[in-house]
Structure 1
């Protein structure tokens, strides 16, 4: 019974963490695009985006990430997966490590933007945003399917999905440039 409670907490905070990551990069995009505005709009918008980014990051996203990791570790302990380490779980944990790296790259990006360093374009940030989507898809398919043949098809599907997302970002960029 304890496992189901921990699983519920894990799922709830995965949703919160992912929502925070998705919205954070969206804020980065708007923050970057605000740099093209004339003064005083640029300063006003930048200050507002910095405030929103800080609050989102430190009040929702990062605490959710820690709760996801704690609940996940507790689930491994309660289910005694540490004794068998199924293949799907190892691959899932590798994707989770990738998501943690993504999280901390976003944190560094937030700090850089707050200090006035905007090194990525809004298009690059849009592509960066899709990486979290791809990792999320990979993790969910691995957890749900678990079967080795199914997750191989899942990986092929994720690669195809990635290509489609990248093409969609490029098409959207062309559409925005025509306006």
Structure 2
């Protein structure tokens, strides 16, 4: 296999992993907000969300994470190993990957809590939690494309401002609906 084959595999599994990282917290939101439904509907919905969370995590996210990590390690080994120390952007990217893996397994912890009907967070808090994966994605992509350990900060600042605007809009819409 050539380097570009491994790179293509890496991109495919990064995409699969992030799809799961974006969708799973949204399932947490729906699962939590199902508490506001009548009992019969709530039981059906929550059982279905438990099943969906388990399948998504075990069948998609775990394999995608491992294949992302293995293909990434292979690329580092094949191309940059000799000059690894000189790539500060790569060191920072790897730090973000460690953070992303921690986020991934914290999602697993939330799955186990929700499976036991332990609702520690509100739907709104879980919507905010859902944005953490987006911040990781922005930081990692900016680092990989720009290959600069400083320029990614501007991308994150823009993302945070965008997130603040979106969450403010969500709160305004929510309060408008509640008034009606």
TM-score, scaled to structure 2:
0.92
Aligned partners of 1:90, 1:33: CA distance in 2, in Å?
Answer: 39
Q: Is the 8 A contact 1:127 1:166 kept in 2?
A: no
- What are the ranges of 5 or more consecutive residues in structure 2 without an aligned counterpart? none
Q: Which residue of 1 aligns with 2:90?
A: 89
Over aligned residue pairs, what C-alpha RMSD do you find?
1.4
The alignment status of 1:53 with 2:53, answered yes or no, reads yes
Q: Which residue of 2 aligns with 1:166?
A: 164
Q: Is the 8 A contact 2:139 2:155 kept in 1?
A: no
The alignment status of 1:119 with 2:117, answered yes or no, reads no
Q: How many aligned residue pairs are there?
A: 176
- What are the ranges of 5 or more consecutive residues in structure 1 without an aligned counterpart? none
Aligned partners of 1:127, 1:103: CA distance in 2, in Å?
Answer: 15
Q: Is the 8 A contact 2:138 2:156 kept in 1?
A: yes
Tell me how far 1:82 sits from its aligned partner.
Answer: 5.6
1:19-53: per-residue Cα shift (whole Å, max 9, x none)?
Answer: 01101011000001001111111111000000111
Q: Deviation above 6 Å: which 4+ runs of structure 1?
A: none
Aligned partners of 1:128, 1:138: CA distance in 2, in Å?
Answer: 16
Aligned partners of 1:69, 1:61: CA distance in 2, in Å?
Answer: 12
